[in-house]
């Protein structure tokens, strides 16, 4: 059986704060992924069945391949309707921050959330949370925030009360944050949780198809182009780099989410330890950086040191305020600095 993970202090603080609340704001990190959105939508349903008024807000849009998730139509997008969101939050008396550890990760929504009087609970699995939250429930060993929420839901309430739709959202977050259980997924408790979620009637094979067999054709043309024309393999550093400019995004009619997962592909090259993906962000003229690694190479340390970011050991990201040429030079410096952990000489 799954043991209780939350300490008595955490559990009673969580219960006290949620029981008292009437209107809860749920939010997650900018550019939500399957875990961020799955966490938000499962929490939305959990709180609604407790009779709470819930407003769920993402800082910006989420990709089309997540739109089938139950209740996603209830989400408000700050970037699209900032004034409507601000007025919807006037009587919020509790904020729940999901799948991020620092209010900066809310990007354009962060000032609005910081300005709210309501106490904030953070529920997350990233290391080193900031101290901006009244209650920080941080479990970096969890494979996903959705796994943490599942454990929280069964500890505060009961598996019996979890609906199939909530279970679908929770499973989606666990599946997407582990690359379909191919990394960061060796704890046996993950599979005990999945067994419990299956007992709620979820169709895990269909969830897989809805996420991974749900892309526009342009994604595959772009993937072919990136791998054939753009990928640079630095065998000395056991690293591959792919870059995508704004001009190329226009050429392939790029939409948010089209490059999801691309950064993982070069890790399939024999011996590779690290993959880096740089993408020009036309919205603000910056370069988005994604890092993925295998084994013990610390993507999060490299992201903090060179790319103004952070994340997990094997998956991290950041941002550079420069052009692509300069960004490639930063990558070059980072690889040289981390050469002792990368090269096999
Ligand atoms: P992705 O490459 O999918 O954008 O991000 C991978 C992981 O890196 C995310 O789940 C998140 O944990 C972390 N991450 C991405 N971008 C940032 C960033 O700008 N700052 C921080 N602190 N973490 C990030
Ligand atoms: Mn996550």
The SS3 of residue 148 is: helix
Q: Is the CB of residue 304 less than 8 Å from the CB of residue 338? A: no
The whole-model pTM stands at 0.95
Give the residue from 195, 17, 165, 156 showing the smallest Cα distance to 93.
Answer: 17
Q: Give the pLDDT of residue 282.
A: 84
Find the 311 Cα to ligand 1 centroid distance in Å. 5
Residue pair 173/144 in contact (Cβ under 8 Å)? The answer is yes
SS3 24: strand
Neighbours of ion ligand 2 (CB under 5 A): 35, 99, 145, 177
Q: Which long-range contacts (CB under 8 A, 24 or more apart) does 244-247 make?
A: 244/277, 244/278, 244/279, 244/280, 245/280, 245/324, 246/280, 246/282
Residue 331 has pLDDT above 80, yes or no: yes
Test site for ligand 1: of 277, 317, 319, 321, most ligand atoms within 8 A of the Cβ = 317
Q: Ligand 1: distance of its center to the CA of 284 in Å? A: 17
pLDDT digits (tens, 9 = 90+) for 184-197: 999 999 999 999 99
Residue 309, ligand 1, Cβ within 6 A = yes
Ligand 1 probe mutation, 122, 292, 308, 310, most atoms within 8 A of CB: 310
Is pLDDT of 344 > 80?
A: no
Distance 258 CA to ligand 1 centre (A): 17
Q: Return the ligand number nearest the Cα of 34.
A: 2
Averaged confidence pLDDT in the chain: 97
From the CA of 144, which ligand is nearest? 2
Half-sphere exposure of 86 (CA within 13 A, CB side): 12
34 lines ligand 1 (CB under 6 A): no
CA–CA distance, 104 with 107 (Å, rounded to integer): 6
Nearest atom within ligand 1 for CA of residue 100: 12
User: How sure is the predictor about 1, in pLDDT bands with cuts at 50, 70 and 90?
Assistant: confident
pLDDT band at 283 (very low <50, low <70, confident <90, very high): confident
* Ligand nearest, relative to CA of residue 177: 2
Q: Give the relative orientation of helices 324-337 and 299-306 as an angle to the nearest 10 degrees.
A: 130
- Residue nearest atom 15 in ligand 1 by C-alpha distance: 317
Residue 314 DSSP class:
S
Residue 294: the pLDDT is: 96
What is the tens place of the pLDDT at every residue in 104-121?
999 999 999 999 999 999
Residues with Cβ within 8 Å of 137's Cβ and at least 6 positions away in sequence, in order, are 6, 10, 14, 121, 122, 123, 124, 148, 152
Is the CB of 311 within 6 Å of ligand 1?
yes
Q: What percent of the chain has pLDDT over 70?
A: 100
Q: Which ligand is nearest to the CA of 139?
A: 2
Residue 238 CA to ligand 1 centre (angstroms)? 22
Return the percentage of the chain with pLDDT > 90, whole number.
97
171 CA from centroid of ligand 2 (Å): 12
pLDDT band of residue 345 (cuts 50, 70, 90) is low
Ligand 2 centroid distance, CA of 181 (Å): 13
Find, among 118, 133, 333, 158, the residue nearest to 241 by Cα: 333
Ligand 2 centroid, distance to 103 Cα (angstroms) = 15
Residue appearing with tokens 């609604």: 48
63 lines ligand 1 (CB under 6 A): no
310 lines ligand 1 (CB under 6 A): yes
pLDDT tens digits, one per residue of 222-260? 999 999 999 999 999 999 999 999 999 999 999 888 999
Distance 331 CA to ligand 1 centre (A): 17
Give me the pLDDT at residue 301, please: 98
């Amino acid at each position: 059986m799954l043991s209780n993970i939350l300490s008595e202090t955490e559990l009673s603080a969580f219960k006290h704060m949620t029981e008292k609340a009437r209107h809860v704001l749920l939010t997650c990190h900018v550019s939500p992924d399957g875990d961020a959105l799955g966490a938000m939508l499962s929490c939305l349903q959990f709180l609604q069945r407790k009779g709470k008024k819930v407003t769920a807000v993402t800082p910006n849009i989420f990709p089309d391949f997540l739109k089938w998730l139950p209740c996603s139509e209830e989400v408000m997008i700050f970037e699209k309707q900032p004034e409507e969101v601000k007025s919807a939050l006037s009587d919020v008396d509790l904020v729940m921050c999901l799948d991020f550890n620092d209010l900066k990760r809310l990007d354009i929504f962060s000032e609005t959330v910081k300005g709210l009087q309501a106490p904030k609970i953070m529920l997350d699995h990233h290391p080193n949370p900031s101290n901006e939250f009244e209650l920080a429930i941080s479990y970096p060993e969890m494979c996903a925030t959705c796994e943490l929420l599942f454990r929280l839901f069964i500890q505060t309430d009961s598996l019996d009360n979890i609906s199939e739709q909530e279970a679908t959202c929770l499973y989606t977050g666990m599946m997407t944050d582990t690359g379909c259980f191919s990394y960061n997924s060796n704890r046996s408790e993950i599979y005990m949780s999945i067994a419990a979620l299956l007992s709620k009637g979820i169709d895990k094979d269909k969830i897989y198809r809805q996420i991974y067999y749900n892309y526009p054709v342009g994604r595959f043309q772009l993937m072919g182009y990136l791998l054939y024309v753009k990928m640079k393999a630095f065998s000395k550093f056991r690293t591959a780099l792919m870059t995508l400019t704004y001009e190329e995004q226009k050429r392939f009619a790029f939409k948010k989410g089209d490059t999801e997962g691309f950064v993982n592909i070069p890790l399939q090259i024999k011996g590779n330890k690290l993959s880096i993906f740089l993408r020009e962000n036309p919205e603000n003229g910056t370069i988005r950086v994604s890092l993925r690694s295998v084994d013990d190479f610390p993507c999060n340390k490299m992201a903090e040191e060179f790319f103004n970011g952070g994340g997990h050991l094997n998956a991290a990201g950041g941002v550079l305020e420069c052009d692509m040429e300069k960004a490639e030079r930063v990558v070059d410096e980072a690889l040289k600095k981390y050469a002792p952990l990368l090269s096999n000489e």
